[in-house]
Chains A and B, each alone.
Chain A
Amino acid sequence: MKITLRVNGTDHVREVEPRLLLSDFLRHEIGLTGTHVGCEHGVCGACTILWDGEPARACLAFAVQAEGHEIRTVESLSPGPGRLDALQQAFQDSHALQCGYCTPGILMTLTAFLAENPHPDEAAVREALSGNLCRCTGYQHIVDAVLRVAAA
C-alpha cells in the first residue's frame, strides 16, 4: 500500500507491505541507515527513534502505523553538514562510543530525556540509559558525556 511518512521534517512516499517494520522502512526504503537494528524484539534500543517527540522502538512498529506521526532519527540531530550538536559533541569529547552501533539509539533516548530533564544526576542518567544496551563502553563515558551536557 502507498504511505506517506514524515521523517525528520520531510515527507516520504513509498509503496510498502503492511508488515514492513518501521526500522526497515527508515533504513532500506529511505536510506536513513543511522538507525540501527540489534535485536528486532525491543530490547537492545539500537533502533530507538522519536515518535512524536517520545523515544520508541522502530523495530516494534509497522511503517504503515507511522503515517500521520512525526518521526525523528539520528540524522536529524546535527545542526548542519559536518557539524555535531551539543550531545554529539559531548559524546566525542568523552569517548562515549567505541563501535558506535548503539550510539544512534542512545542519542535519541537521551535527546528526549534531556529535553525533559536538562540537569540530571548520575543516577538519573543511568536509569535513563538502562533501556539501551551498549556492549563496548561499559557506559561510564556515556554517563560522563551526558553529565557534561547537563553541566553546560
Chain B
Amino acid sequence: MTSFGRPLTRNEDPRLLRGEALFVDDVELPGLLHAAFLRSPHAHARLLAIDTAAARARPGVVAVVTAADLGEYWQPGPLLVPPPPVPGMEFHQRCQVPLVRDKARHVGEPVAMVLAESRYLAEDAVADILVDWESLPAVGDLEAALAADAPLVHDDLTSNVAARVHQARGDYAAAARAAHLVLKRRFTYDRGASIPMETRGIVADWDRRADRLTVWDTTQAPVVIRNGLAAMLGLSERQVRVVAPNIGGGFGPKMMMFYPEEVLVPWAALRLGRPVKWIEDRLEHFFATTHERSQIHDAEIALDAQGKILGVRDVFLHDTGAYDPYGLTVPLNSQCTLLGCYVVPAYDSAFTAVFTNRTLVTPYRGAGRQHGVFVMERLLDLAARALGIDRAEIRRRNFIPADAFPFDQGVIYQDFSRLSYDSGDYEPILDKALAAIGYDDFLARVQPTARAEGRALGIGLVCYVEGTGIGPYEGARVQVQGSGKVSLATGIGSQGQGHATAFAQVVAEQIGVDIRDVEVVTGDTDQFQWGVGTFASRGAVVAGSAAHEAAKVVRAKILRTAAAHFECAEADLVLADGAVTVAGTDRRIALGALAGLANPMRGAVTPGTEPGLEATRYFGPASGATASGVHAMILEIDRATLRPTILDYVVVHDCGTVINPLILAGQIHGGVAQGIGNAFFEKLAWDSEGQLLNASLADYLIPTALDVPRMRLEHTVTPSPLNPLGVKGAGEAGAIPVGALFAQAIEDALGLPARDIEIREMPLSPSRLWEITEGG
C-alpha cells in the first residue's frame, strides 16, 4: 500500500514524547565550559573602555574575551544573501560583528564573552565587567532615521539608507489617469519576534586527538555553518562536523548566520581546548535573535468602475535593524507578494531599507509576505467599499485566470529570478471558502440578527499567494541497509516540520517499504555534505524532490540487481513490503539480502559498478512554486472592551500535491496561530531611547490555546510542474494573511466603514483598537 499522500503519524514522535530526543542544550561533555555574554545596555553608544579584571579574577572563570582579544579573528559576518540584480538599485552591506569594538548599534549587541565552569558563575562574572559608554542618540522611527540630521547607525555612510530598490512594469501614471477610482493610504506594520520555544544555543567540542571540531547548533542550515566555520577557523571542511539535532522551532531566525555566538563559541573551544556551551536565555533572545516586520507603506491603487485593477503604486520603508546580512529578502518578498492572486497591469514599487538602532531584521515565517498581502488586501477592501462591490466579488474580478499560468509577474523575486507563478486556480479556492464559512448566509442573516441583539459579529476574507520552494538546491542520499531498512540523509535541518516522516513517505513510495523502516537523518554534516537550509517553505519541495529522485535511482538498482539474481526480466519483478518477488512465483529476496548481494566482499564486478543499493541525487528547481489560498473568519468583538473572539476560521489552501495531510494541517494550524499573534497580541514595544519594554514572555504575548480557534481546512490541488512530486511549500501559508483578515473582520464587526474609520496598521490590541475607534 502506498504511503504517499496519507495522513501517517510521525516517525520522530516517540522519542520526543518520552523526553529522549536530543536538543542542543541536552549535550553534556566532560569538562564543559559555559559561556555568557555581556551585552550592550544601550541602543547606540560608543565603547570607550572596558575593564574585565574583576571578572577574570572571579573563581571559576576561565577566560573573558573582548573584541581586542580576537585579533584577526574579529571580522564582520558574511553577507548571506547578496542584493538582487535589479537595475539602478543601491545597497550598503554592513554585517554584524562578533563583539562590539568601537560602538554598539543595538541593545543586546555582544560586548564580551565570559567562559566559566558553570552558567551561573559566568553570569556572575558578566556583572563584574565594567564598561565606559558614551551614550549616543538612537534612531528607531523609520522616517526620523531618514531625516537629514538623524544620528548615523554606520558612521561611514552618509545616511541611514541601507538600500533602495525600484521595480516597475507598465505605466502606473497612465493607469491612474485613466482610472475611475484612485485610493491612496498609509499602512504600517510593526515589529514582532518569532519566539521559538527553544532559544538558540551552541555547543562546540574540539577533539585534539581526532583533530576535529564538532558543533551542535540550533541552526536551520548546518552545512552552511560548517563551511563558514571551517573557513573562519582555518580548518578544512572535513575537520568540522555541524549537527543540528532536534530543533525546538525556528521559524526563520535560526536560518540567520553567523550570529556572533556562532562565531565565538567554536573559537573559544579551540582556543581553550575544552568544550564550550552557550544557551541563549529568554531575555537574551529578545535582543540577540533577529526580529521582523517594521514597514511603512504609502500605497495607491487605481481601478476602473467595475473594480478591475489598473495599477498599484507603493513606496515603502523597511526597517532592517542595525545590520543587513540577510540582504533584501524581506522587503523583496513584500514587494513581490503584494501582487497576490491578481492581474495588476501596472505596478510601480520602490522601497528604502533603513538602518536603525534595533536588533537585526531577517526573515520570520512569512518573511515580508504579510506586509504585501496586508497592503493589497486592505486596498481592495477599501476599493470595494468605495465602489459598492462585494468584498469577494472584487477579488474574483481581478484573479489571474486559470488558463494564464505560468503567469509572469515581471518583477525580480527573492531568488533573483523573474517572479512567475507556476500554476494555480484561484476561483475554486474562493468558492470553497465562501461556502465553508457560509459567507452569503452570514451577511444576509447571521450578522443582521446578531446586530439586532446588540452583538458585533464580523466576517473577513483574504486571498494570498506564497512563493515557496525556491532554489538553489538540496540533495539526498538513499541507501538500503543490510538490515533491510532504508536510510535517507539530506543536508537541511529540521525544526519540527516532520521531515523524517514526509521524506520517508517519499522514499517508501519508491522502494516499497514501510515508512517506519525509513530512517531519515537531517542536519548532520557528517551524514550529508551539501545543502542550503530550511527556509522559504522549501524543505518538502526541494529536499523532498531530491529524495524522490534518489529513491527512484535506488529502485532501479534494486530491480536491476534482483533481475540479475533471479535471472529474469525486471518487468517480472514486484517490489513491495521490503522484498522483491518474481511475479506469480514464491521466489523472493528481502531487500537487506539484496543489499548484501550489491556489495560483494570477494570476486570481481563488472567495471563501472557502484556498490550498494545507494544513490545520491540533487534537485534544484528553476524557480519557486507558488502556493495560494483563502482564509475566512467570523469573529465577535465586545464593543466595550474591544476583545475579539474568533467564532469560525476556515483555510482553503492549494499547495500542490500533498505528501501528508496530517503534517500539512499542523503546518497551517501553527502558521495561523502565529498570524493571530502577529495580528492581535505580539508587538515589540520600544521607548525613545531604543530600549525594549516588553522583553519577557509575560509582556510579549504569544497566543495560548484559548486565543487560537478551531480551524477548518480544505484543499484544492494544482500540482506544481516544477518538481517531480508536484508539491508546493506550505510552511508559511498559515501566517501570511491573518493580519489583513483581522483588520477586515474587525472593521466589519464594529461597523467601522459607516463611521469612516479604517484599520491600516498591524499589530492591533484592544487598547490600540480603542484609540483608533474611540480615542480620537
Contact = CB atoms under 8 A, between A and B. Distances in A.
A38 B282 contact: yes
B247 interface: yes
Nearest to A78: B18
A82 B196 CA distance: 28
B120 A19 contact: yes
A77 B17 CA distance: 9
Contacts of B696: 39, 41, 43
B13 A130 contact: no
A99 B698 contact: no
Interface in B609-666: 662-663, 665-666
Contacts of A50: none
B708 A27 contact: no
A32 interface: yes
B283 to A, nearest CB: 8
Nearest to A139: B705
A129 B246 contact: no
B496 A92 contact: no
A142 B25 CA distance: 25
B19 A135 contact: no
Counting contact residues on chain B (CB < 8 A from A), the size range is: 35 or more
Contacts of B706: 126-127, 129-130
B697 A100 contact: no
Interface in B65-115: none
A95 B704 contact: no
A60 to B, nearest CB: 12
A96 to B, nearest CB: 9
A28 B14 CA distance: 22
Contacts of A107: 17
B18 A95 contact: no
A99 B282 contact: no
Interface in B278-314: 281-282
A129 B706 CA distance: 8
A142 B498 contact: no
Nearest to A136: B670
A5 B490 CA distance: 42
B13 A92 contact: yes
Nearest to A38: B197
Contacts of A11: none
A27 B27 CA distance: 10
B232 interface: no
A41 B666 contact: no
A33 to B, nearest CB: 4
Interface string B658-697: 0000110110111111100000000000000000000011
Contacts of B710: 122, 140, 143
A137 B10 CA distance: 14
A135 B674 contact: yes
Contacts of A136: 197, 249, 496, 666, 670
Given A101-B496, A139-B673, 4 more contacts: A34-B18, A43-B698, A95-B10, A107-B17
8 contacts: A27-B26, A31-B28, A42-B698, A92-B13, A104-B19, A140-B669, A141-B666, A142-B705
